[in-house]
């Protein structure tokens, strides 16, 4: 029987994506484009929130959006109503966006024509956490209908994000949403994380969100 | 299938490393997986076999060491010792 031996490698498996994300980050910076990504579970209101955000920004800034889904271009069609450039990335069976998909989607756009680029990730609280897209801000969304302990159940994605946004806050009373418990859950996973409460329907909390991204 | 795309990344990375080392015969890939990396061990093991099919990694083993933290690294390649193989 032949002998075996170990050769040490120490190679980061996400290296390819991380390198590409670093390149993208440099491109965004050189173009002066602020890139913000949104992650959440399906149905937490990412698209409604993004629609409202695009509508409120478009008069003052040059904005565009990329939206990821496994199938359909429903979200892109919906966001197109805001009259800003929108492109759908359909991932097929892949449960997250990666830096290469973003790079490909950006091919026809001139970044320096954009002040803000929004990237709506595939609705998923697990996989997107491992993939850096070069964004300067990652917002994780959770809606009041999902339960206050989402952050504790999915710590990795909350840990990878910069700001937490509690959506559908206009429904908080109807579903007896416990704000303090939700905030404690976020704080337990990512101490000091900024938390915003918004409603895309009523516009509550939108000024705070816009102030956060326009800084 | 998140783990499948990760398994494919592992196979790509290992293929490169093998090529750089003169294509030794691979027995196993040793991997360090942080608990915060967001990867499920069982799914990854399953996906690994599928990703290896039709590559120089077919039939090799994935040995996963779980650690706290976020790191996700191929730490070592277990290869057949050439000195012995030459006998």
Please give the domain boundaries of chain B with CATH numbers for all domains. 2-85 (3.30.2320.50)
Strand order, beta sheet including B26-34? A4-12, B72-80, B26-34, B61-67
CATH number where A39 lies: 3.40.50.300
pLDDT value for A42:
94
Residues B45 and B64 sit within 8 Å (Cβ to Cβ): yes
With CA atoms as reference, the chain B residue closest to A129 would be: B38
In a domain, A1, yes or no: no
Q: Which residue has the higher pLDDT, A56 or B35?
A: A56
Q: What is the pLDDT of residues B57-81, one digit of tens each?
A: 999 999 999 998 878 899 999 999 8
Interface of B with A (CB under 8 A): 1-2, 5-6, 9-10, 12-13, 17, 21, 27-28, 30-31, 36-39, 71-81, 83-85
Q: What is the pLDDT of residues A20-30, one digit of tens each?
A: 999 999 999 99
In a domain, A22, yes or no: yes
The pair of structure tokens assigned to A155 is: 């710590």
Residues B28 and B61 sit within 8 Å (Cβ to Cβ): yes
| Range of the structural domain that residue A177 is part of | 15-214
Quote the ipTM score. 0.79
Average pLDDT, chain A: 94
The pair of structure tokens assigned to A87 is: 């492109």
Q: What is the pLDDT of residues A177-197, one digit of tens each?
A: 999 999 999 999 999 999 999
In a domain, A2, yes or no: no
In a domain, A5, yes or no: no
The pLDDT confidence band at residue B1, using thresholds 50, 70 and 90, is: low
Q: Is A93 on the interface with B (CB under 8 A)?
A: yes
DSSP state of A81: G
Measured in angstroms, the CA of A20 and the nearest CA of chain B are apart by: 14
Q: Tokens 């956060």 correspond to what residue?
A: A212
- Average confidence (pLDDT) over B34-47: 86
The total number of structural domains that make up chain A: 1
Q: What is the pLDDT of residues A36-84, one digit of tens each?
A: 999 999 999 999 999 999 999 999 999 999 999 989 999 999 999 999 9
């Amino acid at each position: 029987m032949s002998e075996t031996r170990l050769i040490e490698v120490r190679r980061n498996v996400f290296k390819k994506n991380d390198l590409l994300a670093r390149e993208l980050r440099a491109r965004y910076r050189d173009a002066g484009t602020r890139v913000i990504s949104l992650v959440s579970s399906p149905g937490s209101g990412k698209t409604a929130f993004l629609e409202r955000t695009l509508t409120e920004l478009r008069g003052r800034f040059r904005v565009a959006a990329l939206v990821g889904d496994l199938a359909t271009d429903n979200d892109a069609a919906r966001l197109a109503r805001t009259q800003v450039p929108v492109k759908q990335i359909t991932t097929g069976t892949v449960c997250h966006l990666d830096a290469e998909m973003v790079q490909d989607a950006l091919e026809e756009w001139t970044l320096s024509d954009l002040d803000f680029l929004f990237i709506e990730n595939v609705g998923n609280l697990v996989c997107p956490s491992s993939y850096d897209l070069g964004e300067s801000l990652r917002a994780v969304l959770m809606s009041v209908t999902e339960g206050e302990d989402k952050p504790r159940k999915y710590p990795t994605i909350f840990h990878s994000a910069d700001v937490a946004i509690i959506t559908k806050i206009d429904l908080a009373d109807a579903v007896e949403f416990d704000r303090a418990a939700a905030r404690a859950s976020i704080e337990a996973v990512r101490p000091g994380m900024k938390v915003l409460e918004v409603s895309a329907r009523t516009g509550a909390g939108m000024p705070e969100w816009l102030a956060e991204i326009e800084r | 299938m998140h783990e499948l795309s990760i398994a494919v990344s592992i196979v790509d990375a290992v293929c490169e490393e093998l090529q750089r080392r003169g294509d030794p015969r691979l027995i196993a890939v040793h991997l360090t997986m942080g608990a915060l990396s967001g990867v499920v061990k069982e799914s990854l093991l399953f996906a690994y076999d599928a990703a290896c099919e039709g590559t120089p990694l077919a039939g090799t083993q994935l040995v996963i060491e779980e650690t706290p933290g976020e790191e996700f690294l191929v730490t070592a390649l277990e290869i057949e010792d050439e000195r012995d193989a030459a006998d």
